[in-house]
Amino acid sequence: MSTLQSLSEEQLSARLGVLEAAYEDYKSRGLKLDMSRGKPGPEQLELSMKLLDTVDSQTGAKTLKGEETRNYGMLDGIPEMKDMFADVLGVESANVIVGGNSSLNLMFDYISQAYSHGVCGHPAWCREEKVKFLCPAPGYDRHFAVTEYFGIELIAVDMTENGPDMDQVERLAADPQVKGIWCVPMYSNPDGITYSDETVRRLCGMKTGAPDFRIMWDNAYGLHHLTDTPDQLLNVYETAKACGNEDRVMLFASTSKISFPGAGVAAMAGSPANIADVKNRLSFETIGYDKLNMLRHARYFGNADGLREHYKQHAAVIRPKFKAVLESLEMHLGGKGIARWKTPNGGYFVSVFLLDGCAKETVRLLKEAGVVMTGAGATYPYGKDPRDSNIRIAPTYPSLDEVRTAIDMFCVCAELACVRKLLAGR
Amino acid sequence: MSTLQSLSEEQLSARLGVLEAAYEDYKSRGLKLDMSRGKPGPEQLELSMKLLDTVDSQTGAKTLKGEETRNYGMLDGIPEMKDMFADVLGVESANVIVGGNSSLNLMFDYISQAYSHGVCGHPAWCREEKVKFLCPAPGYDRHFAVTEYFGIELIAVDMTENGPDMDQVERLAADPQVKGIWCVPMYSNPDGITYSDETVRRLCGMKTGAPDFRIMWDNAYGLHHLTDTPDQLLNVYETAKACGNEDRVMLFASTSKISFPGAGVAAMAGSPANIADVKNRLSFETIGYDKLNMLRHARYFGNADGLREHYKQHAAVIRPKFKAVLESLEMHLGGKGIARWKTPNGGYFVSVFLLDGCAKETVRLLKEAGVVMTGAGATYPYGKDPRDSNIRIAPTYPSLDEVRTAIDMFCVCAELACVRKLLAGR
């Protein structure tokens, strides 16, 4: 396969005709497909149904240690779930707060706390002249949106195969107005990249201008392996502690993509000072999160190994969908010099980089033909991909057949957009 | 029974001896009782156990309209629960947001929103020189604490038999720095007072200095009747709307004391402008609250009448406890001129006013004898009861026998504190 760039104008025009015909054909089918969000599919939702049977009128609602879960109280969660998340996040149970059904909510609330009150005795961010946050991009749009909501300036940092470009991060973090960085350290959204040990060490050890710099460590896909040879991630809390920077890192995780997206259990962890800080706020904020749902999870999964084992069932369901996406990309776009992507070992996405200036047009073409993708640019701060190149593919929600159709259409639309771009440049 | 004030010093001293002997006797028993928080008792927790059977691996998890509850989405809750809370709060379903397990959390988050972003386009409160909030007192300590947490100045307003003293409220609300008022309009915490129609009308119709003045209408006990002739509360939203002040009122409720304190469902309601405002924030804050738990409640209770009917079982359990408290108060403190209280028609508390300067001492004596009460003063802003008079009695959690013992001890300690006070004043 020769690259499209090496084709003559005549050859390109011929190819354009083929692609346009294929596109019109797809369009005429009146399809309605959605590969926009990282949502588990219906088949995955069935995998945890027995979890709902673990707490009912017959079982009662006491923890293993005999504690009542139905009433008010236990601000930081039931012991079983603290233990489970301690294992998941690589911290001690005492440094875990088990929350409600949304880790995004815990992150939002932490940024909200920093904004209105400050963290660990530092000044409230709303009293600072300007606050900035580092956003490795492409990244998770909802992360960027949280900081944008609080008027924080978003600074894009390039992603590399090893995580955020640490030279950039170290340079930018020297600015005292830069208060933190968003990280999805394992199977990153959307690239599927796992931070290298060196990246973790540099993040934990670097000098920061702000004494209250925070690494928002959203380990959303920490157990979400697709292969039997999963990536490995260094223990960030231990690393930060060894550097004397244990207050720098706030960790988050949830079972949303292991039990139920709408009714999972989320948790956060951090240093004793950070956890005391958050608990103080929590004591004003609620009388306690839903402990009955924690109990369901504790009884069903038992411990973190139970979560890991259970996720293998999810992997079995979604692996063929990832395979279909990757095979189609290779088959239709491989070697053409217009697209690159990475085969992720886990997580929820395949991230495709097209010729500069072709992402928006590809998404537009797909939408017109009935396939909804994550908006081009959504993976960058302020929704603006400076190269208009990246598209996030979320293959989990549609059925395997739908994925196959949608990704074939994606390839046609992507190549169509790129051919037109190349022809326009001749 | 003559009042203690009318007794001679000799008679008082004799009474003191009797009380001290009784107190020492109680103390020697080594009791451990708790009447401090408005927590349902274990018997009440059993009443809703069948709710847990309504969603399991056999029932599936679709709403009546066939919508999926296990996945992400439905930011404002499932339709059935929006309808249920619309009825409870007297608003339209479209103006309801169904939340997680904590109405306190919804209130906290609303104040947090006002602080960091402002409401309905008004300036953020954190940018104002000073913000004040009206706190009808005695009132709910956790309400006061939320506003105190955000550095808002708390201004006590006297409670009357008809709700907050509206002459005071109207005068204070003219100050543009006064941004709102906390209200528990039905069976108020702790007095059990239901706001009169006139109070509701004046709250809704009064002129406020602040255009973004908010009535935080926590209808926590709206369905929580203890008698067959319940109090009646005017529809605050319709009243505010009729006054052209529909944006002024934010309504809150939950099933915490109907299903489970730790795993109920909370909701908020307000004008279209307010709800749009909150939904915008929510879209950054979470992908959705726990819809499986909403579904359990929808299936178990059906509608608001189901909630009302179910509460009668709670009333049957706790009515004897309230009766025991009120009978003991009447028997031991009635006519002595040292205590007054109201017989509530609903809610969770009996509020007792002792001779000025005797509340703290009474709570101290009780604690020393093994009975934990809500801290004296807790029902006032900053925890300071200017007259040191009010004590909140929460009779629901202990068993009936324990309530009987604890309230008898309360009466001994209260009279003991008052007699000592009177003797010291001779």
**A150 interface with B at CB cutoff 8 Å:** yes
Q: Region A206-215: what's the mean pLDDT?
A: 98
DSSP state of A260: -
The 8-class DSSP code of residue A378 comes to: T
Compute the distance between CA of residue B238 and CA of residue B221 in angstroms, rounded to an integer: 19
State the smallest CA–CA distance between residue B404 and chain A in angstroms. Answer: 23
pLDDT tens figures, A53-107: 999 999 999 998 899 999 999 999 999 999 999 999 999 999 999 999 999 999 9
pLDDT tens profile A77-90: 999 999 999 999 99
- Of B56, B69, B263, which is closest to A262 when you measure between CB atoms? B69
pLDDT of res. B2: 85
What's the first-to-final CA gap in chain A, in angstroms?
Answer: 21
> Inter-chain contact B262–A72, Cβ cutoff 8 Å?
yes
Is A123 a residue whose pLDDT tops 70? yes
Give the pairing type, strands A390-393 and A153-160.
Answer: unpaired
Out of B74, B108, B285, the one facing A284 most closely (by C-beta) is: B108
Q: Are A139 and A163 in contact (CB under 8 A)?
A: no
> Could you tell me if B192 and B347 are in contact, meaning their C-beta atoms sit under 8 angstroms apart?
yes
- Chain A residue with CA closest to B280: the answer is A149
Rounded CA-CA distance A234/A90 in Å is 10
Rounded CA separation A255/A266 (Å)? 6
Backbone angles phi, psi at B398, to 5 degrees: -70, 165
Mutate which of A46, A53, A70 to test chain B, going by most B C-beta atoms within 10 A? Answer: A70
State whether residue A252 sits within 8 Å of chain B by CB. Answer: no
Distances (CA, A) of B120 to A348, A381, B243: 37, 26, 18
Q: Mean pLDDT for each consecutive 10-residue tract of chain B (426 residues)?
A: 92 97 96 92 97 97 94 96 98 98 98 98 97 98 98 98 98 98 98 98 98 98 97 98 98 98 97 98 97 98 98 98 98 97 97 98 98 95 97 96 97 98 94
Residue A426 above 90 pLDDT? no
pLDDT surpasses 90 at A366: yes
Give the predicted TM-score (pTM) of the model.
0.97
Contact B145 A284 (CB under 8 A): yes
Residues of chain B contacting residue A50, judged by C-beta atoms under 8 Å apart: 57
**Among candidates A53, A57, A292 on the partner chain, residue whose Cβ is nearest the Cβ of B262:** A292
Give the percent of chain A with pLDDT over 70. Answer: 100
Sequence-ordered list of residues with C-beta below 8 angstroms from that of A299, at least 6 positions apart, any chain: A54, A55, A59
On the 0-12 / 13-18 / 19+ scale of CB atoms within 10 A, A24 is exposed
Contact at CB, A290 and B101, closer than 8 angstroms: yes
Residue A311: the pLDDT is: 98
pLDDT digits (tens, 9 = 90+) for A271-327: 999 999 999 999 999 999 999 999 999 999 999 999 999 999 999 999 999 999 999
Cβ within 8 Å of A, B 58-77:
61, 68-74
Q: Which residue of A has its CA nearest to B46?
A: A57
Q: What is the pLDDT of residue B1?
A: 64
**8 Å CB contact of A70 and B260:** yes
Helical pair A304-333 and A400-425, crossing angle rounded to 10 deg: 40
Examine the pLDDT at A241 and tell me if it is beyond 90.
Answer: yes
Nearest C-alpha in A relative to B124: A126
What DSSP line would sit under B358-382, residue for residue? Answer: -HHHHHHHHHHTTEEEPPTTTTSGG
C-alpha dihedral (B84, B90, B94, B98), degrees to nearest 10: -50
| pLDDT in the model for residue A1 | 64
Within A102-173, residue ranges assigned H as helices are 103-116, 141-149, 166-173
What does pLDDT average to over chain A? 97
pLDDT of residue A286: 95
Contacts of B286 in chain A (CB under 8 A): 102, 104-105, 108
A146 in contact with B, Cβ within 8 Å: yes
Give the pLDDT confidence score for residue A278 in this predicted structure: 98
Q: Using CA atoms, how far apart are residues A190 and B399, in angstroms rounded to an integer?
A: 55
> What is the SS3 string spanning B403-421?
HHHHHHHHHHHHHHHHHHH
Helix, strand, or coil here: A302?
A: coil
- A7-46 residues touching B, CB cutoff 8 A: 37, 39-40, 42, 45
Q: What's the CA angle centered on A56, arms A52 and A60, to 5 degrees?
A: 130
Helix residue spans in A152-192 (DSSP H): 166-173
Q: Which residues from B are below 8 Å from A108, CB to CB?
A: 284-286
Contact map slice: A 202-221 vs B, CB within 8 A: none
Residue of B nearest to A265 (CA): B290
Q: Is there a contact between B70 and A261 if contact means CB atoms under 8 Å apart?
A: yes
Gyration radius (Cα) of chain B, Å: 23
Q: Which of residues 373-412 of A touch B (CB under 8 A)?
A: none
For residue B138, cis peptide bond before it (omega within 30 degrees of 0): yes
Residues above pLDDT 90, as percent of chain A: 98
